[in-house]
């Protein structure tokens, strides 16, 4: 016969699992709603993150998102900054030392902006982020 304590612990474990399931459902609902408006690059990043979360859950390490602030580069906001300044993409490209095609790709969400960029876009990313920061948009809290 199950002791009272064991019974209480079993019920508490069930409540924890139910709460974790509800917690995940809230995030999944929000992800589903936002997924449709993401660029292909943003979708790839989202999927990588979800794979890490799933791996953690499978290892019984439920992720704690409660105090994590993830900075996100908003390409629409970057475009608005340029448009408010009445600058063209070629003008911003000249300021940042990159091509107009690169600025265009960033503003469409097709080129990734990262603090960890490597290769040919590393310097362009740095200059572009410095430009945006000087104009009041600082997504990575530089």
pLDDT higher than threshold 70 for residue 89? yes
Average pLDDT score over residue span 84-105: 92
Residue 67 confidence (pLDDT):
53
Instruction: Count CB-CB contacts under 10 A for residue 96.
Output: 21
Average pLDDT score over residue span 43-53: 80
Q: Strand, coil or helix: what is 60?
A: coil
CATH architecture assigned to 75-134:
Orthogonal Bundle (1.10)
Residue 80 confidence (pLDDT):
93
Domain boundaries, the chain: 4-58, 75-134
Task: Enumerate residues 6+ apart whose C-beta is below 8 A from 75.
Answer: 39, 106, 107, 108, 109, 113
pTM: 0.50
pLDDT higher than threshold 90 for residue 88? yes
- Are 69 and 91 in contact by the 8 Å Cβ rule? The answer is no
User: What confidence tier does 94 reach under pLDDT thresholds 50, 70, 90?
Assistant: very high
Average pLDDT score over residue span 100-107: 91
């Amino acid at each position: 016969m199950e002791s009272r304590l064991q019974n209480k612990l079993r019920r508490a474990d069930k409540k924890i699992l139910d709460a974790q399931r509800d917690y995940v459902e809230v995030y999944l609902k929000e992800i589903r709603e936002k997924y449709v408006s993401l660029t292909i690059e943003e979708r790839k990043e989202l999927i990588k993150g979800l794979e890490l979360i799933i791996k953690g859950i499978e290892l019984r390490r439920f992720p704690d998102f409660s105090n994590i602030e993830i900075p996100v580069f908003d390409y629409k906001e970057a475009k608005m900054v340029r448009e408010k300044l009445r600058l063209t993409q070629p003008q911003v490209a000249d300021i940042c030392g990159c091509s107009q095609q690169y600025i265009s790709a960033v503003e469409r969400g097709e080129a990734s902006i990262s603090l960890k960029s490597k290769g040919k876009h590393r310097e362009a990313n740095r200059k572009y982020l410095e430009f945006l920061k000087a104009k009041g948009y600082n997504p990575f809290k530089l």
